[in-house]
Amino acid sequence: MAKSIKQLLKDEDKRQQETISLIASENIAPPEIRQAAGSSLMNKYSEGYPQKRYYGGNKVADVVEQMAVAVGRKLFRADHINVQPYSGTPAMMAIYFALMKPGDTAMGMSLPHGGHLTHGHKVNFSGKLYKFVQYGVDPDSGLLNYDEIETMAKIFKPKVIVCGATAYPRQIDFQRFGKIAKKAGAYLVADISHIAGLIVGGQHPYPFPHADVVMSTTHKTLRGPRGAIIACKASLAAAIDKAVFPGVQGGPHDNITAAKALCFQNAMKPEFKRYAAQIVKNAQALARALQKLDFNLITGGTDTHLILIDLTNKNITGKEAETALGKAGIILNKNMIPNDLRSPFDPSGIRLGVPVVTSRGMKESQMEQIALMIAKVIDKPKSKSVLSAVKKEVAACTKKFPIK
Ligand SMILES: *Cc1c(COP(=O)(O)O)cnc(C)c1O
């Protein structure tokens, strides 16, 4: 008989407790944020913006959204912020609708080099509606080549330049991107979804004042609910708000707005700075330990929350590594590496991120232990005894660092 949803939710709690998630885009939202997301605000409709709603009964919803806006603006150092986007993809859609007309030219980072689908990939609305020119990373260093991006911007004269990534282990030079965009007469959109927590936690430079528009999801390093925000310069505020509602969305998810307000309040606290610093320390400890075990890291290391491994010297593909590690209780994803000769379904790399394990309280010594476990599995991915021994080690480790 099929399991009930109630039982499946319990199964998922257990799965999360008993595995080590190294998925770079995931995190563990604290209990009060999950509570807000499941609160009675879920039942409310409030199309429009505070004090300008299309429904009655918004006394509480208005104050909640105004609080999220007030704290969010401070947190991102923005002139204006819209806290209604359902997720990163609709937020990017609203930004493009506000800044471009279909058929306009834009520039974004290519997906196989670390960009996101919404940065102009041909299967995504962004690649279908706009003429996206894609930049990548230098094949030898794995780093963004700003001179080349500048030359491309001069030639293609895009209306919008998007910077930001899902699999780039180094800091992004927003100042340089800002100069490139200004010279080309383009708007600079910074998609900080992955690194927002590192930015507001003091581990990475801020995109403002170099960017015109900043988009971030709230559920990655920021440790909030599933959702997104758009921050922008004052001159673009009206266009962005109109593009979100009524352009792309209907009623905001007020329960999630409450959870975002809590997330922003948490991120303003001194503890969050320590958390962000620990994320980078953990990623660097994991990177050093992996390098000692002869793993080849793209760019030679990390200064963010994530690591990209090129597995070509290890006689295993990204998909095989993901599957074998999964059997041992270590969850991560296969990933394209720059100039990958394999297919996206079975690429040459894997991506590792430490936000979840850092939220669970793990520190540098656990990162060394995790690196060793990964090496054991990658060396003998088909050995049942190795997989079960590592699984036991994972169980002991996760028990010591429960999800609250
Ligand atoms: C996660 C992510 C998005 C999309 O967010 P969803 O909430 O999955 O739609 C967009 N851009 C970047 C860089 C991301 O990492």
* pLDDT tens, position by position, 181-194: 999 999 999 999 99
- Does the beta carbon of 91 lie inside 6 Å of ligand 1? no
Domains of the chain, earliest start first: 8-24+271-400 (3.90.1150.10), 31-267 (3.40.640.10)
- Does the beta carbon of 25 lie inside 6 Å of ligand 1? yes
- Please give the pLDDT value at position 1: 79
Which tens digit of pLDDT belongs to each residue from 112-121?
A: 999 999 999 9
Distance CA 216, CA 190 (A): 8
Does the annotation mark 183 as catalytic? no
- The model carries a pTM of 0.97
| Token pair belonging to 25 | 């885009």
- Looking at the DSSP assignment, which residues form a beta bridge with residue 331? 21
Does the annotation mark 191 as catalytic? yes
Considering 47, 104, 150, 340, which one is annotated as catalytic? 47
Sheet with 228-232, strands from edge to edge, namely 80-82, 228-232, 213-217, 187-191, 160-163, 105-109, 131-135
- Please give the pLDDT value at position 58: 98
**By the 8 A CB rule, do 163 and 189 touch?**
yes
Which tens digit of pLDDT belongs to each residue from 14-57?
A: 999 999 999 999 999 999 999 999 999 999 999 999 999 999 99
- Please give the pLDDT value at position 247: 98
- Does the beta carbon of 44 lie inside 6 Å of ligand 1? no
**By the 8 A CB rule, do 53 and 213 touch?**
no
- Please give the pLDDT value at position 105: 98
Is 126 among the annotated ligand-binding positions?
Answer: no
Is 8 among the annotated ligand-binding positions?
Answer: no
- Ligand 1 atom 6 nearest Cα: 88
- Please give the pLDDT value at position 101: 98
Nearest-atom index, ligand 1, CA of 92: 10
- Does the beta carbon of 305 lie inside 6 Å of ligand 1? no
Does the annotation mark 104 as catalytic? no
Distance CA 25, CA 44 (A): 29
The low-confidence residues of the chain, meaning pLDDT below 50, are: none
